[in-house]
Copies of this chain bind each other. A is one copy, B any other.
Amino acid sequence: MTGQTHGPLPEAGAGRFGEGRMLSARERAYDGIHSGILNGDFPPGAFIEEAVACEVTGVSRTPVREALNRLAAEGYLELHPRRGAMVRPLSGAELRDLYEVRDLIESHAVRAICRDGRPVPPEMASLCDAHEALPAEEHLRHVEINRLFHRALVAGAGNTVLLQVFDGLQANLTRVAMLSLRQGVGRNEVIEHEHRALIAALEAHDEAHALSVLDRHLKLMPRLMAALPG
């Protein structure tokens, strides 16, 4: 396939690409398939054959299989035994559900901070600054910074399990964000303004206000994506 008949080759998996550190085969498989799903090379509803994934990522079936299993656990794929791995299409209904749960989690974090008098995580402000400083066309970075902002909020609740659950949603949330990007739904100034407002309300420990800001902020996305299949 890719000519990786390793045999007794002594230089094995050494510096495959001149650049940075050396990735394990599993990581390469995961990264390759993952980005393939995000950028649309593997569109929703498509079946990913192991052989194809091997060609794309340049590793053998064993690490590819582990990557597929992990991606399934993260909610990217649906594993049909003896059939293969299907890229999970996300329906409008699931999107609504997803944002309802997200709202539940982040609201809980807001309450925990305002009520229990927890400190507002300082990363929230610095991520806002980073967001502001970033050129508008750096879509991926904007998505990532936005993700980290909300993650910092949840982390502020001081509940590791809650944070884990939130991270578990990220896979599908990221997919939505990527979709919305391709539809040109970039409103970075609005987002950043609302983030600042949220920080202010949290620092004032104004629970009701913080919750209303959060609610408005989170209700934007599902409304924009209303035209989704399902």
Minimum CB distance partner of A82 in chain B: B24
Kindly list chain B residues whose C-beta atoms are within 8 Å of the C-beta of A101. 159, 161-162, 165
Report the interface size for chain A: residues with CB under 8 A from the other chain.
26
By the criterion CB–CB under 8 Å, are A161 and B100 in contact?
yes
Kindly list chain B residues whose C-beta atoms are within 8 Å of the C-beta of A100. 159, 161-162
Selected contact of A65 from candidates B24, B66, B75, B94, CB within 8 Å: B66
Within A56-111, the residues touching B (CB, 8 Å) are: 62, 65-66, 69-70, 73, 75, 81, 93-94, 97-98, 100-101, 104-105, 108
Please list the residues of chain A having a beta carbon within 8 angstroms of any beta carbon in chain B: 24, 62, 65-66, 69-70, 73, 75, 81, 93-94, 97-98, 100-101, 104-105, 108, 159-162, 164-165, 168-169
